[in-house]
A and B are shown apart, each in its own frame.
Chain A
Amino acid sequence: MYNKKNKNLTPYAFIAPHLILFIIFFAIPAVFGIFISFTNWNIMSSPKWVGFQNYYEILLNKDSTFYMQFHNGLKNTVMFVIFTVPVSIITALSVALALNAKPKGNKFFQSLFYLPSLLSISSVILTWHFLFNRNLGPINNIFNLKINWYGQQPFTWIAIVIITVWWGIGGNMVIYQAALASIPKELYEAADLDGAGAIIKFFKITLPSMKNQLTYTVIMTTIAQFNIYGQPLMFSKGGPKGSTYVLLMYIRQLAFGSGESIAGLASAMAVMLGLCIISVSSLQFFLLRNND
């Protein structure tokens, strides 16, 4: 009897640390957030139940500022995801491939590429803000340009994408390096014997062998980029003309701006963003898994 009980508890004991953190920092806030999205709440008094009113306001009421903000914010967020995810994946993969060829100093370059991932968003933006400075920045000076990167499209998007890719390249790169290292050499040798070129080897051996890692990174990168906030907030302040005002900026301002909190509407927007992330990631997972 004692033994049996013991056996049943062991797995739970092992997952307990993660489970507890997950419940406290994710599950409870998520459920609470969904509940709040059906209420009017200013954080200070008690929430009032209003059903789907907040969702009506942001999804259907075209006269409302919040409708405009939600749609503009979501549009900009999706645009950012579309711009950034492919570039992030391709650059990280290219760097991993290059490093995998073991050029001289590859360990040094590996650390160099990984380094930005360790920095906080504030220091990243501070650095790039200077690099993209209109008059004094090296980028404009080296290329002899007069571009206002902080507030002129499409340059603002280009700058934000460059910053994001540079910042996040390390995480995916390490995963790809591990994946590349585990591909059996025999496969390439066999392909050599059959006279396959580098491109064919890449598409027929390398990519298929890394499928799991690619699926994982594509989904994780997409989720991460949907949560974009710091880059446009600090780099372009949402401009020019609100074209880089992403959804999280509106959400945060509504909930924790300098006026009274409108947490219900902010939560409704956040739930919609969550639904978008879930559906896009599921679609990606479904498509990539069924590729076989």
Chain B
Amino acid sequence: MNRKLKVIVSCALAIMMIASLVGCGSTTTSSKKDSKEIIFWSVFTGPDGENMNRMIEEYNNTNPEYKVKHRPIQADEMYQRIPTMVSSGKDIPDLTIVHAERVALFAENEMIMPLDSYIDKNGTIKQENYVTSGWNIGGLNGSRYSIPLDVHSFVTYYNKDLLAKYGPNVLDDNVITLDEIREVGELSKKDEITSMGITWMRVKFLSWYEQLGGKLSEDGTNPSFNNPQAEKVLDDIKGLVTNGYANQDGEDTGQLFRSGQLVFWPEGIWMQNSLKEIKDLNWGMAHLVTFDPAKKVNWTSSHQFTMLKNPSMTDEKAEGIMNFINWIGENSLEWAKAGQVPASLKILENEEFNKMPHAFLLKEQESLSISGYKYFGFAAEALDKIVWETVFDKMDIKEGLEQAEKETLDRIAASKKQ
């Protein structure tokens, strides 16, 4: 009897295990052909996810034929799951947010579908309604693969009180130059106030390098950033560190800025909401610090709406998706509140948006630079390993650039064999 019981219990356990494992595969994300629901995957797992939820709720309240269901998912995890999901053809979300830098790669590997026929049918989604740099990134080889939701740039935050004290004339032309960083630094360092923070070096390097006329790749394939322009960028910033105009390695620039010990803080526009909580901090936002006041370049990325390749997609549902994308474009104030610049130019008609600190980016949209370099991911990760180290004098600049360019080249060569 006892033995029988044991067998029964263990068999039951084993069956439960198997059943639960089988359960792993068939998550509830599956959207059947006839379901009247648009499954929308996004990377908005932070507070911006709340803003997106509010927008979707509002959209669903308009009673569209296809309602939208939002599923925020960690970017890393999402990008890992997409290839296996698409090749299995199961549980594919209907609409997916992808970063601008990934669009070219996904399109080339047929992970995402061209949207031309759907856009044509919709009729209201048009190039002229969107910010150019955000729109251009989705057009490849004559087809359109994505529609921009927003553009988000790396800009300069400044402390208004400190600036009035150390550089009252800096913003006369609305631009902060590196020379002005030095002038302010010369005065402020006597009071132990740092002029500029060294923050995310990769994107600042890219902006400055482009200001000096540099390109990540001259021919669109091979990297070409081991050159005098790149050296000048790193050397100049290193000079700011050595002369005490910029912070020293290991110092927390966000903390310095929040506590009023830093004049200029280059950061992403998405950081603004965290500053609003600090009551006695009087801050403003301007273009990223420039070498030459005549050439403003703000490194920018963009969240793009894409449709993963999905054999069970119907024309009716695609129509519903296009309606949703278009609606978002026309009602994007909530997204601007999340600290992003909506890609739809319609937002410029909105007064509330025009008063926001980051509205200037849309008015000067020629300053926004989104990289369309196919191997951007390789170059960016290679640069990450050296830009910080060279600026803080832990690595020789020439040696660093050589290493980064070689790494990019080797990864491109390895990827081409595949």
Contacts and interface: CB of A to CB of B under 8 A. Distances in A.
Interface of A: 6, 9-10, 13-14, 16-17, 20-21, 24, 40-45, 48, 50, 57, 64-66, 133-136, 147-152, 237-242, 245, 253-254, 256-262, 264-265
B406 interface: yes
Contact of B410 (A14, A66, A150, A261): A66
Question: Among the interface residues A14, A237, A240, A259, which one has the most CB atoms of the partner chain B within 10 A?
Answer: A259
B105 to A, nearest CB: 6
6 contacts: A13-B11, A17-B13, A17-B17, A41-B418, A43-B83, A148-B250
A250 to B, nearest CB: 10
Contacts, number: 134
A148 B248 CA distance: 9
Interface stretch (B46-54, B323-331, B370-378): B370-378
B255 interface: yes
Interface residues of B, number: 51
A45 B418 CA distance: 8
Contacts of B79: 256, 258
A43 B415 CA distance: 11
Contact of B392 (A10, A14, A151, A253): A151
B381 A258 contact: yes
Interface in B336-379: 375-378
B13 to A, nearest CB: 5
B249 interface: yes
B14 A42 contact: no
A239 B101 contact: no
| Majority-rule SS of A interface residues | loop
Interface of B: 3-4, 6-7, 10-11, 13-14, 17-18, 21, 76, 79-80, 83-84, 86-87, 101-102, 105, 109-111, 248-252, 255, 375-378, 380-381, 384-385, 388-389, 392, 394-395, 406-407, 410-411, 414-415, 417-418
Given A151-B392, A240-B389, A242-B385, A260 B105 contact: yes
A267 to B, nearest CB: 13
Contacts of A57: 414
Contacts of A133: 250, 252, 255
Contacts of B4: 6
Given A13-B14, A262-B414, 8 more contacts: A6-B4, A16-B14, A150-B250, A152-B249, A239-B394, A245-B385, A258-B381, A259-B375
A135 B248 CA distance: 10
A10 B7 CA distance: 6
Contacts of B76: 256
A151 B201 CA distance: 15
